[in-house]
Structure 1
Amino acid sequence: MPSGQRYWTVLDEDRLVPVPAADEFLRHVRFGRGQAESTTRTYAGAVALYLTWCRCTKRDWTTAAGRLGSFMFWLQYSRGDDGPMVAGPGTEPVRGPRRINTVLAGVREFLAHGTSLGTVPAIVLSQLYEIGDDRDLPAEARGEGSGLRYYAKARHRAPEVDEPVDRAADEEVLALLRACRNARDRFIVLLLARAGLRRSEAVGLRREDIHFVLDASSLGCRVPGSHLHVVRRDNANGAWAKSKRSRAVPVDFLLVQAYDQYAVERDTCSEARDSDFVLVNVFRPPLGAPMPPAALNDLFDRLSRRAGLEDGVHPHALRHAFASNAADAGAMVDEIADLLGHASPSSSQVYLHPDPQRLRAAVERVAALAPGRGR
């Protein structure tokens, strides 16, 4: 765009021009709703698959929502082109349930947006969502209001196996640190493990966000002690802070020390000195360019192999470790939610994985109360 902002769209394969309905929707997502460029990329892929299926099956995309069950089967066994779909006994799926549900979510958003514009019949909403109310819920689950509350549940969803992300064990974090061969990589590991940042938040940090001083008042900041700021911005590397609300995250001396060591290493690269991004390419071209979010996945894959961690450690597992360690140290859920950038403390519950020793101690406390124990 003239402003420098970017978004993904869907092109007509014959004329190589944007498909009007898809392009309008994706611009609305990017600029009307202020979503990340990566979100438009995910939605664009979903809409492109839906339009391809409609073309292959000779269906009108505005009224095909009632056949999303067939679309799900097509997603499972088709590569997403105009070629024939062959699915017999023993055929391996092309896409798993998680990917299918991601595509369905994008398609629902696309069609629902069309109903708001009048380009898609309003009846399509009832084909996408099952509308219910809270009359059958227990009284304690209805809330305090006297009126009915309605909710919409997606009608089409592939069953997924619930595989929650586990925390990285302290021993795994130490193994990753030992596997690091430079100060930048050690800083990244500690940044995720000791500050709980998301992958995109880490690579989106600017040097102005780093307030590793005892008194930041000289910087115009009222937050006491060493800390860093997480701010949503449009970044050239595609980094995007998930929360709209900026937050300050206190840091400890280990992270401050790691940053000092990285700053010295970073300064040896002349191209890096001119970049305002904290995490930049220091060892390979393009030198001085900000690291993209996917680079952290590659880094943790290398570190995991080098450390001999068979299952590997994903960057997000360190965020879970940070939240769990804070809880083990006595932090309240509202404090953890603020540190993680969650709008509601309930969102932080899935990040809390009590230390096994703390669970054992809880069981032993119960056993100590048994009749006749200790007499």
Structure 2
Amino acid sequence: MLDAELEVFAPADQWLRHVRFGQSRAELTTNSYAGAVVLYLRWCERTGRDWREAAGDLGLFMVWLKYAPADPHGQVLAGPGSTSMRGERRINGVLTGVRGLLSHAVTTGMVERWVLGQVYEIGSSRDLPAEALGEAPGMVARLKARHRLQEPESEVDRATDDEAVALFRACRNARDRVIVLLLARVGLRPGQVAGLRRSDCHLLMDSRALGCDVEGPHLHIIRRANENGAWSKSRKKWVQPVDFLVVQAMDQYTAERHRLLGGGATTSCW
């Protein structure tokens, strides 16, 4: 991350490196945090605030986020009748990035410790569901974000079965049909589908010859760095069973791939 003089902004650069490599966060997550920091620093610059001490005015920052246009030179117009530029979910995401930057800066000694009191308050475990309490007896104190908008509840708009079938029929090759099935029928994320390798696909009823004791056809979903940049959002590797339709589609795709490309040197499915 560079400042106005095209110099590396060390506090943000160190924190983003820690997020990406120290916490093994996804590249897209790190990029999202970087965008949040840019917005915070832009607001501090335009309002004449020091980024180290502006945490007490995050409420004003939230108003700015709601109405500030994406164009860095655009004019902020707030008040009745003004159009919101960012929703509650996006604003909360930006605030998460800002809190991460300030907390890391406090840890490294770049920011005074009192700043933590501006972004967090001491909360209790009484408002947590029973599943989140674990076996800890009694009330437990925890840090609670001071600035957070209530996000509206909305139903997930998933594709209907008819839409999935129509998309499947519109595919012109076996590869696209497999991808549609993995997304719609198996429920994988796009990054997990794009990151699949041929060694992850165990489609026999008995895969012990491959060194795998899992019974039945299945896929191994593993978070790893891939040549195409695909990344599984889940940190833990897990096994996903697949049915006969996916097995048949994978078989057709394998035959098609071998016919067009031969054996190939790449380990990727695609």
What is the TM-score with the length of structure 1 in the denominator? Answer: 0.65
Change (3 A) 1:118 1:147: farther
Q: Show the 5 A alignment for 1:1-375.
A: 10-14=1-5, 16-79=6-69, 81=72, 84-134=75-125, 145-270=136-261, 273-279=264-270
How much has 1:122 moved relative to structure 2? 1.6
Give the secondary-structure state (helix, strand or coil) at the position aligned to 2:113.
coil
5+ residue gaps, structure 1, are 1-9, 280-375
Q: 1:195 to 1:132 in 2, by over 3 A?
A: same
Q: Secondary structure at the match of 1:152?
A: strand
Deviations 1:250-277 (A, max 9, x none): 2111101111112233334439933321
- % identical equivalent positions: 55
Alpha-carbon contact 2:69-2:75 (below 8 Å) kept:
no
- Deviation, 1:137, is 8.5
Q: Deviations for 1:45-89, whole angstroms, at most 9, x for unmatched residues?
A: 001111111111111111101111111111122235255423354
CA RMSD of aligned residues (A): 2.6
**One-letter code aligned to 1:91:** S
Asked if the contact 1:233–1:240 (Cα under 8 Å) also holds between the matched residues in 2, the reply is yes
Distance change in 2, residues 1:64/1:195 (3 Å): same
Are the counterparts in 2 of residues 52 and 82 from structure 1 also a CA contact under 8 Å?
no
Distance 1:169 1:32, change over 3 A: same
Amino acid at match of 1:104: L
**Shift >6 Å, 4+ stretches:** 135-143
**How far is 1:193 from its partner?**
2.8
In structure 2, what is the Cα distance between the partners aligned to 1:174 and 1:140?
A: 38
2-structure distance, mates of 1:53, 1:97 = 18
Letter in 1 for 2:67: Y
* Equivalent residue number for residue 285 of structure 1: none
Matched-pair contact (CA < 8 Å) for 2:67–2:86? yes
Residues 1:265 and 1:123: Cα distance change in structure 2 (over 3 Å): same
Aligned length: 269
Q: Distance in 2 between matches of 1:205 and 1:254?
A: 18
Confirm or deny: 8 A CA contact 1:72 1:100 kept in the other structure. Answer: yes
